[in-house]
Amino acid sequence: TSATSHPWPYLVCGGLQDNNAWCGASSDYDRGGLTGAQDWFYVSGGDGQYVVPAPSDAGMIYATTDDGYATVLNRATGFRRGINPYQRDELAGLLLSGKPPYAQKSDSTGRPGGG
């Protein structure tokens, strides 16, 4: 799955099987629009699935892996953390969805789905 941000140059993000989740610029000002490896950055590890820049702030990037682990990256600070909900003891043996989808809604909350 791939996603883009709103400001130009667009931030293009995608998850790669066995190769993490990455984002990069759609164009580069200094090299006549050409992009290279230096324009891409690591978002999260594992088998990358969904990678979504927040509609209200492209510097906040949400990502999931194929086993359902979710993270958020604050690009300005470099701070990355897991955002999976706390699993209560009574749910501890259940297998949750391996490929959780992201719903993207353009609003001012800065949270996926606007909630």
pLDDT at 79: 95
Long-range interactions of 6-15: CB distance < 8 A, separation 24+: 6/55, 6/58, 7/58, 11/53, 11/58, 13/43, 13/51, 13/52, 13/53, 13/61, 13/63, 14/48, 14/51, 15/47, 15/48, 15/49, 15/50, 15/51, 15/63, 15/64, 15/65
Q: What is the pTM of this model?
A: 0.70
How is domain 2-84 classified at the architecture level of CATH? Beta Barrel (2.40)
Can you give the residue ranges of every domain in the chain? 2-84
> Would you write out the chain's pLDDT as a tens digit for each of its 115 residues?
566 666 666 788 888 888 888 888 877 666 666 667 778 899 998 887 788 888 888 889 999 887 778 899 999 999 999 887 766 666 566 555 555 555 555 555 555 444 4
